[in-house]
Amino acid sequence: MTEPKQSWIEAGYVNEPLPKDIDLKQAIKDLCKEKNATILAHYYTNSDVQDIAHFVGDSLALADQAKNLQSDIVIMCGVHFMAETVNVLAGDRLVLLPDLNATCSLAESCPPEEFAAFKAQHPDHKVISYVNTSAQIKAMSDVLVTSSNARKIVESYPKDQKLIFGPDRNLGGYLNSVTGRDMVLWQGACHVHQRFSVDKLIQLKEIYPEAKVLVHPECNGAVVKLADCVGSTAALLNYAIQSDATTFLVATESGILHQMQKQCSGKAFIPVPPEEASCGCNNCNYMRLITLEKIYNCLKYEWPSIELPEDLKEQCKAPILEMYARNR
């Protein structure tokens, strides 16, 4: 591992110039082979990042992969909390995040000190936390969930068990509606899913009356009510693959369109626009910070790395293992 330069630290990533006329994709593949490295990429990253990855998936799938990797180095092409989760699950492997600026608006909407005070106000409640949280929030939780398994895990608790759900108020509200629970909700939100436009979705439904509407449960309730399928990113992809429909209106981060188009030849996927934009797109600006250039440099210099303190890793591991136990 190379000692980071001050310019790298200030930038949050390795900002070294690339060799002239480099074939980036091939160079990354060569470095992965040389260093026994695995690239994991979330569905919301740029399409060229997804294409260079050894595995592409949603949060649950990436966590599953992290548990079973045999490589010496893991490059997490996603956001900061995902790299932390990989660090918890991947043993002593070196975990790299190509750009430390790739944070998460939802995770940042739940400051640890404020959440600790919120939790203290409800001492008889179990804490269910969405995986889109910092390690500090995970350590305060009884169990973690993803959008794939959240309903099953909420329903695994007795009806009389009081529950806190955080940080996403939209996902928590959706879970309350489908489970009949009355969980106390932390009032956080994802900047991407929060801003989908109900009015623009209705307009698209009028233009494409036969289209199926695919919605992530982090969207606000008014958008969710218009959905034909509400689910995790992987669930929306699987629905599109299996459906006889040929046109879909998609209300989640637009990076998933790459996999939908690759795996559903002949079908049309139309992104639902956000409220304030004139374009038909809704991107996570944090995910889009991950580029091939940064992947190459972080693998070459083995920085930035994510390494949590051992005691914090152990505290995070307990609610993660509880998630797997309740999701069987």
pLDDT in tens, 156-202: 999 999 999 999 999 999 999 999 999 999 999 999 999 999 999 99
pLDDT in tens, 239-254: 999 999 999 999 999 9
Give the residue from 143, 217, 144 showing the smallest Cα distance to 175.
217
3-state secondary structure of 104: coil
* Distance spanning both ends of the chain, measured CA to CA: 39
Residues 174 and 98 in one domain: no
**Per-residue tokens: 316:** 């995070």
Whether residue 314 lies inside any domain: the answer is no
Amino acid identity, residue 24? L
Omega prior to 112 cis, within 30 of 0:
no
Q: Which pLDDT score, from 0 to 100, does residue 290 have?
A: 98
Q: Which pLDDT score, from 0 to 100, does residue 328 have?
A: 87
Q: Which pLDDT score, from 0 to 100, does residue 282 have?
A: 80
Residues 62/148/105/284 CA torsion (nearest 10 deg)? 70
Q: What is the mean pLDDT of residues 225-234?
A: 96
Residue 2 scores a pLDDT above 90: no
Residue 289 scores a pLDDT above 90: yes
83-103 as b/e, with b when 16 or more CB fall inside 10 Å? bbbbbbbbeebbbbbbbbbbb
Q: What is the mean pLDDT of residues 12-16?
A: 98
Which pLDDT band, with edges at 50, 70 and 90, does 280 fall under? low
Which pLDDT band, with edges at 50, 70 and 90, does 231 fall under? very high
CATH of the domain at 27: 3.40.50.10800
Q: Which pLDDT score, from 0 to 100, does residue 60 have?
A: 79
Whether residue 217 lies inside any domain: the answer is yes
Share of the chain above pLDDT 70, in %: 98
Q: Which pLDDT score, from 0 to 100, does residue 68 have?
A: 87
Residue 216 scores a pLDDT above 60: yes
Contacts of 224 (CB under 8 A, 6+ apart): 170, 174, 215, 217, 230
Residues 154 and 220 in one domain: no
How far out from the chain centre does Cα 124 lie?
A: 30
Residue 309 scores a pLDDT above 90: yes
Select from 147, 165, 189 the last residue of a domain: 189
Indicate the length of the chain as a whole number: 328
Residues 220 and 295 in one domain: no
Q: Which pLDDT score, from 0 to 100, does residue 279 have?
A: 56
Whether residue 279 lies inside any domain: the answer is no
Share of the chain above pLDDT 90, in %: 91
| Total domain count, the chain | 3
| Whether 31 contacts 37, CB under 8 Å | yes
Whether residue 1 lies inside any domain: the answer is no
Residues 168 and 110 in one domain: yes
Residues 113 and 147 in one domain: yes
Rounded to an integer, what distance in angstroms lies between the CA atom of residue 41 and that of residue 197? 27
Q: Could you tell me which residues are beta bridge partners of residue 188?
A: 168
What's 63's DSSP letter? H
Residues 200 and 264 in one domain: yes
Region at 316 (left for phi over 0; alpha for psi -120 to 50; beta for the rest) = alpha
Cα separations in angstroms, 228 against 48, 97, 99, 205, 282: 30, 35, 36, 12, 20
Whether residue 319 lies inside any domain: the answer is no
Residue 80 scores a pLDDT above 80: yes
Whether residue 316 lies inside any domain: the answer is no
Q: Which pLDDT score, from 0 to 100, does residue 327 have?
A: 92
Residue 29 scores a pLDDT above 80: yes
Rounded to an integer, what distance in angstroms lies between the CA atom of residue 33 and that of residue 71? 10
Relative to beta strand 184-185, strand 163-166 is parallel
Residues 241 and 212 in one domain: yes
Whether residue 223 lies inside any domain: the answer is yes
Select from 189, 218, 241 the last residue of a domain: 189
Q: Which pLDDT score, from 0 to 100, does residue 67 have?
A: 85
Q: What is the mean pLDDT of residues 135-149?
A: 96
Average pLDDT, the chain: 95
Residues 148 and 178 in one domain: yes
Give the residue from 287, 313, 130 showing the smallest Cα distance to 218.
130
DSSP of 125-169: -EEEEESSS-HHHHHT-SEEE-TTTHHHHHHTS-TTS-EEEESBH
Whether residue 261 lies inside any domain: the answer is yes
Q: What is the mean pLDDT of residues 274-285?
A: 74
**Domain of 134?**
106-189
Pairs from 24-33 (Cβ < 8 Å, separation ≥ 24): 24/292, 24/293, 24/296, 25/51, 25/52, 25/292, 27/296, 28/52, 28/292, 28/295, 28/296, 28/299, 31/296, 31/299, 31/300, 32/299
User: Which carries the bigger pLDDT value, residue 277 or residue 210?
Assistant: 210
